[in-house]
Amino acid sequence: MKRRDFLAASAVAGVATVCGARRAAADQAGGGNGMPKLTPPEKPAELNLCLQWGAIPGGEIKEKLDFLEANGFTAVEIPSGDWPIKNCDALIEAMKGRKLFLATACGPSDFSYAEPEKREAEVQKFLPVLEALGKMKSVGLIICPARGKLSEPGRLSAKELRKDFVENTGKRLAEHAHKHGTSIVLEPLRRNETPFLRQVADGARIAADIGPGATVMGDFWHMGLEETSFMGAFICGGKLLTHVHIAGLKERIIPGVHRDADNYVDGFKGLKLIGYRGAVSFEGGWPKNPEDPKKGLPQEERIRLIRNMVTLLREQWAMA
């Protein structure tokens, strides 16, 4: 059996398994045999591949969006900071008539300062960004509530931060986002990056506690260390899951370079079970240039790797 035939056969078997499992789970009103009851999604899930702005070949906005459309992407992720404010009108104009949606804006944030003035400055910084994202019909603004060690002087404790984020900083940002038709998207990170928010289930709980305008995302790279199951984590995100980051699972570079390690089928099954229709966006680096590690990869090689990733992720989505 050729590789393509094998994958096609696996895809049919995979969908049958998912649909069968979904139906069986739904049929068990109340979970008769002790298994959890899953409600089948109203609309089937969709794979919307996406690139972050810096990874898209091309210089001008139009050139980058043209590349995405020509290479099978259906979503775009932009930088955060003042980028959305500066480029709001130009991006709205460039997106007209395209089969692309604006996923998220991604950049640093920190709400763990002990000094209320510093936390307030962070809130004030993001309010106009959320307005611009709302105007651009973006899914939302990615927020990592805290980085580094909360045990350091000048930081809130994890308990204090959770309360303040849910009742004050995160709450106000989410309300503002909701008012402008967008959201804040909480991103769980690895334990070496934050002690505060590491799992999708916890992010979903924080988002639910905040209320309208707060959602959660999953990043395969962080999840690889922090979750026991990609599928289980995405199911925990449920309807609150609005964005996904993806990278190689062995090395944080474009998927497909370490092909044996880069298996996302279990995670994609979870996304299918919750009817996920948001973006799956590559966030990561590139392999070293074998000719000269200091130089970075030539553009043609990056494009080849991007196309290779698209093929790999589509195959695995079909298998899930």
**b (16+ CB within 10 A) / e for 248-268:** bbeeebbbbbeeeebebbebb
What character string, x for contact with Mg ion (CB under 5 A) and - otherwise, covers 179-218? ----------------------------------------
Structure tokens at 224: 């690889």
* Residue 155 or 245 with smaller CB distance to Mg ion: 245
* Residue 210 or 280 with smaller CB distance to Mg ion: 280
Output the smallest distance, CB 31 to Mg ion, in A. Answer: 33
> Which range touches Mg ion (CB under 5 A), out of 24-32, 230-238, 245-253, 273-281?
245-253
* Residue 14 or 84 with smaller CB distance to Mg ion: 84
* Residue 120 or 202 with smaller CB distance to Mg ion: 202
Does the protein bind Mg ion through residue 77 (CB under 5 A)?
A: no
Output the smallest distance, CB 300 to Mg ion, in A. Answer: 27
* Residue 224 or 287 with smaller CB distance to Mg ion: 224
> Which range touches Mg ion (CB under 5 A), out of 7-15, 131-139, 172-180, 279-287?
279-287
Position of tokens 């990733």? Answer: 309
* Residue 219 or 226 with smaller CB distance to Mg ion: 219
Output the smallest distance, CB 6 to Mg ion, in A. Answer: 32
∠ CA 168-165-225, rounded to 5°: 170
Q: How far apart, in Å, are the Cα atoms of 242 and each of 50, 112, 203, 216?
A: 13, 24, 12, 6
* Residue 38 or 197 with smaller CB distance to Mg ion: 197
> Which range touches Mg ion (CB under 5 A), out of 17-25, 114-122, 241-249, 271-279?
241-249
Sheet strands (E) in 80-207: 101-106, 140-143, 184-186
Does the protein bind Mg ion through residue 226 (CB under 5 A)?
A: no
DSSP state of 130: H
Does the protein bind Mg ion through residue 245 (CB under 5 A)?
A: yes
Output the smallest distance, CB 45 to Mg ion, in A. Answer: 20
Structure tokens at 76: 């775009």
Q: Could you tell me which residues are beta bridge partners of residue 216? A: 186, 241
| DSSP reduced 3-state for 105 | strand
Does the protein bind Mg ion through residue 283 (CB under 5 A)?
A: yes
Applying CB under 5 A, what is the total number of residues that bind Mg ion?
3
> Which range touches Mg ion (CB under 5 A), out of 19-27, 88-96, 146-154, 281-289?
281-289
Distance CA 320, CA 311 (A): 14
Structure tokens at 127: 């309010």
H/E stretch holding 246 reads: strand 241-246
Sheet strands (E) in 126-235: 140-143, 184-186, 214-219
Output the smallest distance, CB 254 to Mg ion, in A. Answer: 14
Structure tokens at 99: 């089969």
Does the protein bind Mg ion through residue 219 (CB under 5 A)?
A: yes
Sheet strands (E) in 121-213: 140-143, 184-186
Binding region for Mg ion (CB under 5 A): 219, 245, 283
